[in-house]
Amino acid sequence: MRDSILVTGGAGFIGSNFVLSWLAGESASVVNLDLLTYAGNPASLASVDGDPRYRLVRGDIDDANLVRSLLRDHRPRAIVHFAAESHVDRSIASPDAFIRTNVHGTFVLLDQARAYWSELTEADRRNFRFLHVSTDEVYGSLGPADPAFSETTPYAPNSPYAASKAGSDHLVRAYQHTFGLPTLTTNCSNNYGPYQFPEKLIPLMILNALEGKPLPVYGDGKNVRDWLFVEDHCSAIGAVLAGGRVGATYNIGGASERANLDVVTLVCDLVDEMAGPLASGPRRKLITFVADRPGHDRRYAIDATKISGELGWKPAQQFESGLRKTVRWYLDHPDWVRDVRTGAYLEWIAKNYTERTTL
């Protein structure tokens, strides 16, 4: 093996943050395999374009021949698998893409990794890792008083997206149990931070608030999520890759449960503070309640005791400090924002928010 890792989906939101963090702190080179769909943005990695340790390959994890050739040519010591369709609303509108990428794509990647791993020397086989990045949504929905999700919480996915990620988690487990492939799985809570595509809640609200547009909130706004700053997530993945037990799952959370309405309200206040108030008054007045998403899970929460106890990881950011950094980043990067807001993106926003019935 060489001192390199293969990252899938490394031009996406979490993947690009991980690649940047990795190259800033590690010596190993990165081969980034990304299909560059609407959410994959090479501009997020412009700062490392000239780094000889970084290579971007445009391609599909569902392409077995391509995956096989990348493993053969680059001989990575680890695969860090981010590539996934990840937006719940899109999974409701078009589930097939989620099954193809998240389930079958993960299968192809696992199968090619198994073939590659089986041909390594004994020492290299011991050192190889396949790290699969998943979501807390596989566990379903919690009631207000329910304990947070742990690694032993039964799976109960409620959306096509969550079901596709649950399927990929089970495949990873099966390849470890059946074939001995040294896998690791992480299940994270909702991420936020720089480079997030603005169909997700926080960047959408930041940009709409900045421009004085309505801020669409599903249902009564009381759906609760645990929020994890993306740089904290990346540090956790690094800790799991370095010291996680083969075959283990680690839940990664931000210890920051917030109702959606509270998140949007805080975004309004921060944009008012940093960009100045609107002539029409505080941006909180822009909040608009719209018809809820079908099957909308009420609450997610992560118990991160295991990763804290075994690997010593804890989030560095509280939600308020992380959100302040995030709002500042979007205000300071108008060119990045402009370039990702394509016609396809605007059509999606119209379909999923503008056309929803206002409550």
CA neighbor of 102 nearest in space, from 194, 31, 168, 170? 168
Tokens at 110, concatenated: 């696992």
Give the integer Cα–Cα distance in Å for 284 and 263: 11
Tokens of 304: 């991160």
Q: Which of the residues 34, 85, 136, 231 is marked catalytic?
A: 136
Position 298 scores a pLDDT of 95
Q: Is residue 175 part of a domain?
A: yes
Mean pLDDT of 171-196: 98
Q: What is the pLDDT of residues 234-252, one digit of tens each?
A: 999 999 999 999 999 999 9
Residues 322, 320: Cα–Cα separation, whole Å: 6
Cβ neighbors of 243 (< 8 A, separation 6 or more) are 310, 311
In this structure, the dihedral spanned by the alpha carbons of residues 292, 294, 299 and 305, taken in order and rounded to 10 degrees, is: -140
Backbone conformation region of residue 186, classed left if phi is above 0, alpha if psi is from -120 to 50, else beta: beta
Give 277-327 pLDDT, tens digit per residue.
Answer: 999 999 999 999 999 988 899 999 999 999 999 999 999 999 999 999 999
Residue 290 lies in a domain: no
The pTM for the full model equals: 0.94
Q: Is 161 a catalytic residue?
A: yes
**Section 84-90 average pLDDT:** 85
DSSP letters of 160-219?
A: HHHHHHHHHHHHHHHHHHHH---EEEEEE-EEESTT--TTSHHHHHHHHHHHT--EEEET
Any domain includes 243: yes
Q: State residue 345's pLDDT score.
A: 61
Q: Is the residue at 211 inside a domain?
A: no
pLDDT surpasses 80 at 359: no
Instruction: Dump pLDDT digits (tens) for 215-229.
Output: 999 999 999 999 999
Specify if 213 maps to a domain. no
Distance of CA 267 to the CA centre of its chain: 20
pLDDT in tens, 93-104: 889 999 999 999
Question: Binning pLDDT at 50, 70 and 90, where does residue 346 land?
Answer: low
Residue 285 lies in a domain: no
Q: Let me know if residue 346 belongs to a domain.
A: no
Please tell me which residue in 137, 169, 199, 232 is annotated as part of the active site: 137
Given this model, what pLDDT does residue 28 score?
97
pLDDT of residue 38: 80
Residues 235 and 176: beta-carbon distance below 8 Å: no
Of residues 116, 139, 161, 250, which has the active-site annotation? 161
Residue 209 has pLDDT above 70, yes or no: yes
Binned at pLDDT 50, 70 and 90, residue 342 comes out as: confident
pLDDT category of residue 189 using cuts at 50, 70 and 90: very high
**Mean pLDDT of the region 203-226:** 97
123: which residues sit within 8 A by CB, 6+ positions away? none
Work out the average pLDDT over 69-81.
Answer: 98
Residue 75 falls inside a structural domain: yes
Q: Report strand pairing: 224-229 vs 257-259.
A: antiparallel
| pLDDT of 164 | 97
Residues 291, 296, 300: CA angle, nearest 5 degrees: 135
Predicted pLDDT of residue 343? 63
* pLDDT for position 1: 82
Average pLDDT over residues 29-46: 92
Higher pLDDT pick, 157 / 1: 157
300 in Cβ contact with 226 (< 8 Å)? yes
Confidence check: pLDDT of 112 > 80: yes
pLDDT value at residue 81: 98
Share of the chain above pLDDT 70, in %: 96
Average pLDDT value over all residues in the chain? 95
Query: Which pLDDT score is estimated for 356?
Result: 58
What is the pLDDT confidence band of residue 88, given thresholds at 50, 70 and 90?
A: confident
CATH code for position 234 = 3.40.50.720
pLDDT at 358 over 60: no
Domain that holds residue 42: 4-195+227-255+296-319
Number of domains observed in the structure of the chain: 1
pLDDT at 2 over 90: no
Buried b (16+ CB within 10 A) or exposed e, 263-274: bbbbbbbbbbee
